[in-house]
Amino acid sequence: MSEGQARAVRTVEDARRIVEQRGLSHVKVGMFDIDGVLLGKYMSRKKFFSALESGFAFCDVVLGWDSKDELYDNVRFTGWHTGYPDAALRIVPESCREVPFEGDMLLFLAEFDGPAGELCPRGLLERVLARAEGLGYEAFGSLEYEFFLFQETPESIREKGFRHLKPLTPDMMGYSMLRSSVHGELYHDLLALAESMDFPIEGLHTETGPGVLEAAIGVDTALAAGDKGALFKTFTKVWAQRRGLMATFMAKWSPDYPGQSGHIHLSLRERDSGRSAFFDADQPHCMSDVQRHFVAGQQRLMPEFLAMFAPTINSYTRLIPGFWAPTEATWGIENRTCALRVIPGSDVSQRVEYRLGSADANPYLALAAAIGAGLYGIEQRLEPDEPVTGNAYEQQHPAHQALPRTLWDAAQRLRASRPARELFGDAFVEHFAATREWEEREFRKHITDWELDRYFEII
C-alpha cells in the first residue's frame, strides 16, 4: 500500500502495512462518547498492532462522565460502585484517515465491545443498520451542519465569560458570495481538510447570522455518514482553533439569531435489486409505500426519541416557532416548516430530510434514531398523518404530534418508550436517559442572568 492511501485500508493487514510503510512510531486512536465527543490518545506501533489483533482496554469512565468530565451519579454501568474498570474496544481498520496537519500521522476510530458495546454510539448505529439489512434494505444518509465562527480563542471566550464575542463576520448575509470570496482562503482550507479526511463537503455557504456557515457532507452508507459527521464536527473545531478562530455547534448561542441545525437526509435501497425503496414513479410525489411507512414511523416516534436529536438543555431554546426549527412532529412535501420534509426526485434522489435535529446531537445517535424509527414504521406498516401544506407554525396540529418541551421530559418519554427499548436495547435506553436527566439536574444548580434580572430587586 503506497503513501496517501489511508482510505484504502480495509483489513487488519492493511492497517499494519500502512503504519509500517510510513515508519510511524505512534498512531492516533479515538472513540466517540455518548455526547459525540472524540476521545483517545497516541498509541505506540507495538501496542497498536496488538490492539488490531485482540482489541485494547480503556477506562470506562468515558462512559461515566459528562462533557465537562463531571462524574454521573445516576448510571448503573459504571461509577464509584464499580471502581471504573477498563472496558474493551476494538480498532476499526477501515476508519483509517490522514491527519493532514501532523505529517504522515494516521487516525483510527475504535468502538466499544462486550458489555460496553451496548452503550457505544457507533455500535448502536450498527445494530440499527443490521436490522435494516434483515428487512432487505441498505440505508444511506448525509448530514448538514450549521456552525458559527468567532474571532476568539479558548482563552478569550473564558476571559469574556462567553459574552460580547466577536463573530468572524457581521450582519445577516445568507448565501453571500461577498463573504465567501473575501474569506476564500479560509473556505478553501476547510474544503481541502474535508477532502483529505474523507468527509467531503458538497456544499458550503454562509447562513443567516453573523459568522454562520452551513456545510452539507456528501451522501454515503449510513455508518460511513455517521463517521463523517462526527469527524467533521471534531476537526472543524480543530481547523478553526489552529487558525485563531473558534467554531461552535451548540444548538443556539444567542437569543438574537436562529439556532444551528443538524439536518439528516435519508434513503433506503433494496439490497437485492439495488433500486431505491423510496421511489415509485406511479405514486403521488413518487413516494413508495415503503417511504410512506418509513415517514410514518419517524413521525410516530419523534416525541419518544426527541432526546437523541435534542440532547442538551440548550437544544430546547432552538425549538420555538419562526426560527426554522420544527415544533411538532409534522411532515410535508418539500415543506421546510415541517419536522420531516419528503423530497421527491428520482431513483437516486428520492429521500426524506429529518429537520428536527440540532447541530449539538451525536451524529451516530441521531442517525440510529431517525433510521430506527423509520424501520419500525415499515415493520408495523404505519400510516402517517395528513401532510402539512403551508406554514406548519401557524396551524393547529393533533395532540399526539406535540414534542417534549424540556430535556427532562424528553428523557422520560425515551425511558418509557417500548419501541426505543426494542430498537436500541434496555441498557442503552436506561443509560442514555439517565445521562440526560443528569444534564438537566446540573443545569438546575445554576442561576441564570435572566433570573437575576427578573427577580433580584422586584420580588
Helix (H) or strand (E) holding 303: helix 289-309
Quote the pLDDT of residue 4.
55
Q: pLDDT band at 3, cuts 50/70/90?
A: very low
User: What pLDDT score does 340 carry?
Assistant: 98
Predicted confidence band of residue 89 (pLDDT cuts 50, 70, 90): very high
Query: If we measure between CA atoms, which residue out of 72, 128, 97, 38 comes closest to residue 366?
Result: 128
CB neighbours of 402 closer than 8 A, spacing ≥ 6?
Answer: 303, 328, 329
| Tens-place pLDDT, residues 101-110 | 999 999 999 9
Contacts for 194-201: CB closer than 8 Å, 24+ residues apart: 194/232, 196/98, 196/100, 197/97, 197/98, 197/99, 197/100, 197/231, 197/235, 198/7, 198/97, 198/228, 199/227, 199/228, 199/229, 199/231, 199/232, 199/235, 201/232
- For residue 282, the model assigns a pLDDT of 97
Q: What is the pLDDT of residue 177?
A: 97
Q: State CA 64 to chain mean position distance.
A: 20
**pLDDT computed for residue 440 by the predictor:** 97
User: Look-up: residue for cell 432552538?
Assistant: 318
Predicted local distance difference test score (pLDDT) of residue 324: 67
Residue 1 pLDDT > 70:
no
Domains in the chain (CATH in brackets) are 6-119 (3.10.20.70), 129-302+328-391 (3.30.590.10)
Compute the residue count for the chain: 459
Distance CA 178, CA 171 (A): 12
The band of 320, judged by pLDDT with boundaries at 50, 70 and 90, is: confident
Nearest CA-CA partner of 145 in 264, 246, 239, 31: 264
Closest CA to 112 of 143, 88, 144, 76: 88
446/47 Cα distance (integer angstroms)? 44
Tell me the pLDDT band of 327, cut-offs 50, 70 and 90.
confident
Q: Strands 212-217, 331-333: parallel, antiparallel or unpaired by DSSP? A: unpaired
The whole-number pLDDT of residue 287 equals 98
pLDDT tens, 362-408? 999 999 999 999 999 999 999 999 999 999 988 999 999 999 999 99
- Model pLDDT for residues 46-67, shown as the tens digit of each residue: 999 999 999 999 999 999 999 9
Amino acid at 163: R
In this predicted structure, the answer to whether residue 306 has a pLDDT above a threshold of 90 is yes
Give me the pLDDT at residue 120, please: 98
229: CB partners within 8 A, 6+ apart: 143, 145, 199, 217, 262, 363, 367
Crossing angle (nearest 10°) for helices 222-241 and 121-134: 150
C-alpha cell of residue 290: 415503503
DSSP SS3 for 83: coil
CB atoms within 10 A of CB 352: 23
- Axis-axis angle for helices 426-444, 407-415 (nearest 10): 160
pTM above 0.95, yes or no: yes
CA distance 99 to 101: 6
pLDDT digits (tens, 9 = 90+) for 414-444: 999 999 999 999 999 999 999 999 999 999 9
Q: Which of 329, 331, 327, 324 is nearest to 287 (CA)?
A: 331
For 181-197, write each residue's pLDDT tens digit. 999 999 999 999 999 99
Q: Please say if the pLDDT value at position 198 is more than 70.
A: yes
Residue in the structure block whose three cell numbers are 416548516: 337
- Kindly state the percentage of the chain with pLDDT values over 70: 98
Q: State the DSSP H helix or E strand holding residue 154, giving kind and residue range, or none if neither.
A: helix 154-159
* Of 140, 74, 73, 82, nearest in space to 115 by CA: 82
